[in-house]
Amino acid sequence: MISIKKYAAIDIGSNAMRLLVANIIEEKGMPTHFSKNALVRLPIRLGQDSFTVGDISDENIDRMVDAMKAYKLLMKVHKVEKYRALATSAMREATNSAEVIRTINEKSGIEIEIIDGKTEAAIIASTDLHHLLQTDNTYLYVDVGGGSTEFSLFSNNEMIASKSFKIGTVRLLNEMVNDVVWHEIEHWIKSHTIDFDNVILIGSGGNINKLFKMSGKQQDKPLTYTYLNKRFNFLNSLSYEQRVSELDLNPDRADVIVLATKIYLSAMKWSGAKHIYVPKIGLSDGIIKAMYYNKI
């Protein structure tokens, strides 16, 4: 006899907003199984407002309200019994975030919580990685978002260090990341991985998922540093228009994918990693599991 629950997670990021509806399948004597039922991504680039002007524009507030109304209806249709809506970097830094949250709650009924970088990294790390984390290897988990990037180091199947940095694709696109931030990341990675051999990267985020899909690799196979570097050079040689027309990239992906690739390549270089695995996990997956295990 099995029991199926439906939970939902709303991830309000700096580049896009996502609604994930997940099936949680419980069976006596068996591990709980999580599967994606539906995923809806909306490219509302809040970071463009927050990082450059300082607050969320009226236009994007209206778009967020419409998005949340749609998400509320979708959750109703899917018969979702529990959800959480978490906002990250862009909403953290917007001066009018409290007003935005209040307006959305009044007009859609969705309650939004803003989480800090440390909590974001912890939720992402709570995703089901044990099937990837072999005890004889060290893994650096890198989640690149629009406003921040989370790094988590695992050894012997345990997380030993985690850090969130204010570097992301939207910040880079607007030239808001200076050399100091890059040096801080380099120092953090090198200082935490210096005692480990054969570090392997685990990458998450929309851009690395797209790069992996373009590679044609099987899900359990990694990308190499050599492949990723060649892909970076190829993408960088194309114009924004060419990435949209010739590679069929979404407009909101075509302008940031090169920037995201640079972060992953830098993390691989500084950690000495030669391979990067790309499981289909992220903050929304972590929210579902954290809700289920009462870790939020």
Supply 239's token pair.
């114009």
- Average pLDDT value for residue range 86-103: 96
- Supply the mean pLDDT for the chain: 93
- Average pLDDT value for residue range 200-226: 93
- Give residue for tokens 């931030």: 181
Q: Is 79 helix (H, G, I), strand (E, B) or coil?
A: coil
Number of Cβ within a 10 Å radius of residue 159 = 17
| pLDDT tens for each residue of 126-179 | 666 666 666 678 999 999 999 999 999 999 878 899 999 999 999 999 999 999
Burial of 186 (0-12, 13-18, 19+ CB in 10 A): middle
**Residue 25: which of 1, 44, 5 has the closest Cα?**
5
Provide the pLDDT for residue 156.
85
117 pLDDT tier (thresholds 50, 70, 90):
confident
Provide the pLDDT for residue 123.
84
What totals of helices (H) and strands (E) does the chain contain, helices first? Answer: 13, 11
Which amino acid is it at 17? M
Taking the C-alpha atoms of residue 224 and residue 106, their distance in angstroms, rounded to an integer, is 48
The answer to whether 93 and 50 have CB atoms below 8 angstroms apart is yes
Query: Is residue 45 scored above 90 in pLDDT?
Result: yes
Torsion from C-alpha of 258, 259, 263, 266, nearest 10 degrees: 70
Torsion from C-alpha of 105, 107, 108, 114, nearest 10 degrees: -30
Taking the C-alpha atoms of residue 33 and residue 182, their distance in angstroms, rounded to an integer, is 38
- Residue 263: which residues within 8 A CB-CB, separation 6 or more? 142, 144, 149, 167
168 phi/psi in degrees, rounded to 5: -160, 175
**Residue 205: which of 161, 167, 157, 244 has the closest Cα?**
167
The DSSP bridge pattern shows strands 82-87 and 112-114 to be parallel
- Residue 209: which residues within 8 A CB-CB, separation 6 or more? 278, 280
pTM of the entire predicted model: 0.89
